[in-house]
Structure 1
Amino acid sequence: MPDPVLGRQAPLPASPEEAALDTVANPHPGLVYLVRFTCPEFTALCPVTGQPDFAHLVIDYAPDALILESKSLKLFLGSFRNHAAFHEDCTLTIARRAV
């Protein structure tokens, strides 16, 4: 696994495959609660036209022992900017990596 991005400058990964998605310990592991991340300007390239497609992405999850580290998530989502895929495929890729 690459070095965690928290606490250091990190460039935007060239692709989702190259992006690290880091986790940190859940500070409240015995508590059931919901975490929400919003990305109001998620973009990926349309695989047909090559033009950017925009979406408002919302990620909700109930954490267990680990939580997603928000800086690495931001960089991971940004790595889709030059990635050619339909949003339906992007959401499945994001879900698979986050679980």
Structure 2
Amino acid sequence: MDKKHLDNITLLGNQNTKYDFDYNPNILEVFDNKHSENDYFVKFNCPEFTSLCPITSQPDFASIYISYIPAKKMVESKSLKLYLFSFRNHGAFHEDCMNIILKDLIKAMSPKYIEVWGKFTPRGGISIDPYVNYGIIGTKYQDIAEYRLKNHDLYPEKIDNR
């Protein structure tokens, strides 16, 4: 692989990884998309997301699904893992966490399209599953975002998919 495209990657392969227990968007690292002329999805499934309730400080657990169509930059997966880990002691409601993740990833890599979906485990008999997305305004990606927002949850859940 052409190493000049990886100049900003410092975490991948680093044996001295330090885990940040406080929310830190600066952990995110990006690299050049070698196929920016193509539209394609990159999807991350993060089944062990943890944050804290801002009122009770009780832990909240979720599976986070991040899908995006990259433009010129892509997020490096180890930095994404460490970034998501940094929410471990962060107090925020579920909806806030998903919006923060979306905005931080947009800032880091300026994707053509991105969506973040949190499927939180029930607490008190209720689960909360916030979905947020974004497509570049004035492009077909804005149309994709509007379509997917309208249709993101057309299929009912089964109790065994958590």
| Global fold match (TM > 0.5) | yes
Aligned counterparts of 2:25 and 2:105: Cα–Cα separation in 1? 15
CA distance in 1, matches of 2:42, 2:92: 26
Contact 2:21 2:85 in 1 (8 A): no
1:76 is the counterpart of 2:83: yes
Alignment of 1:7-46 (within 5 A): 7-8=13-14, 9-17=16-24, 19-46=26-53
The structure with the largest alpha-carbon Rg is 2
8 Å contact 1:4–1:20 — kept in the other structure?
A: no
Aligned-pair distance for 1:12? 1.1
Identical positions, percent: 46
Distance of 1:87 and 1:5 partners within structure 2: 27
1:18 Cα deviation from its structure 2 partner: 5.9
Letter in 2 for 1:34: F
Pick from 3, 10, 14: which aligns with 1:4? 10
How many aligned residue pairs are there?
98
> C-alpha distance in 1, partners of 2:56/2:11?
33
Separation of aligned partners in 2, 1:35 and 1:90? 20
Change (3 A) 1:16 1:3: farther
> Relative contact order, CA 8 A, sep 6+: which one is greater?
1
What is the TM-score when the length of structure 1 is the normalising length?
0.89
CA distance in 2, matches of 1:50, 1:37: 27
**Per-residue CA shift, 1:25-55, capped at 9, x if unaligned?**
1121111100101111211011111110011
Question: Aligned to 1:33, what secondary structure does the other structure show?
Answer: coil
**Which residue of the partner structure matches residue 59 of structure 2?**
52
| C-alpha contact 2:33 2:73 (8 A) present in aligned 1 | yes
Q: Structure 2: any 5+ residue segments left out of the alignment?
A: 1-7, 107-162
Please report the RMSD computed on the Cα atoms of aligned residues, expressed in angstroms. Answer: 1.7
Listed as ranges, the gaps of 5+ residues in structure 1 are none
